[in-house]
Structure 1
Amino acid sequence: MTEFNYMSEAGLYAGKKLKGSSRPRYKRFETAAEAVRFAIEDLPGSQLRGSILEIDEARFNERQIRMLYDAPGFPLLRRTR
């Protein structure tokens, strides 16, 4: 993936849960890094599937979100497993 600005503002559209919920599926983040970490570490796998990270006009799917999280340049501490 080309150079990515983790400090840009970002929006995350979470994928649908397997069982319905009326909670909002969109969340805004001050930085893309926070959005990426939230998507990978806090969303259930069923919700990560179908999620979209939006930064300016660019959109990233769940596979690309995972690549951003795993990239050596990811600026935040990762949760230990």
Structure 2
Amino acid sequence: MKTIDFNAEASLYLGRDWRTALEQGSRRFPSAAKAIRFALEEVPPVSLHGARMIVDGRSYSPRDLQKLYGDRAYPLHRKADRDAILIEPFND
């Protein structure tokens, strides 16, 4: 997986598919860590299927978001159990 600066600004696109996410536009976050937390703790799972997060010009898929949220380097407190994160499968 790509490396990431969890403190870098992030744009998060959400939707049932990429086209819908793109049409709805992005939400800006002061850090990638906060964007990841929002996506995995607040967003309905259906809206993650078309999700993409852009950080420093790199694109991260829904599966990438799950892996980053579960990574030991993730800097924020998690609502979810780290070992239960990869339950919802995503097709990248």
TM interval, short-chain normalised? 0.7 to 0.9
**Compared CA separation, residues 73 and 16, structure 1 to 2 (3 A):** same
Consecutive unaligned residues of structure 1, counting only runs of 5 or more, are: 18-23
Task: Please give the per-residue CA displacement for 1:39-74, whole angstroms capped at 9, x wherever unaligned.
Answer: 100110100111000012100010001000000000
Q: In the alignment, which residue of structure 2 is the partner of 1:12?
A: 12
* Percent identity (aligned): 33
| Aligned equivalent of 2:72 | 72
The two structures have a TM-score, normalised by structure 2, of: 0.74
Return the structure number with greater relative CO, CA threshold 8 A, min gap 6: 1
Matches within 5 A, 1:1-81: 1-16=1-16, 24-80=24-80
**Structure 1's 59 and 3: CA in aligned 2 closer, same or farther, altered over 3 A?**
closer
Report the count of equivalent residues: 76
TM norm structure 1: 0.83
How far off its partner does 1:10 sit?
Answer: 0.2
| Structure 2: gaps of 5 or more residues | 18-23, 82-92
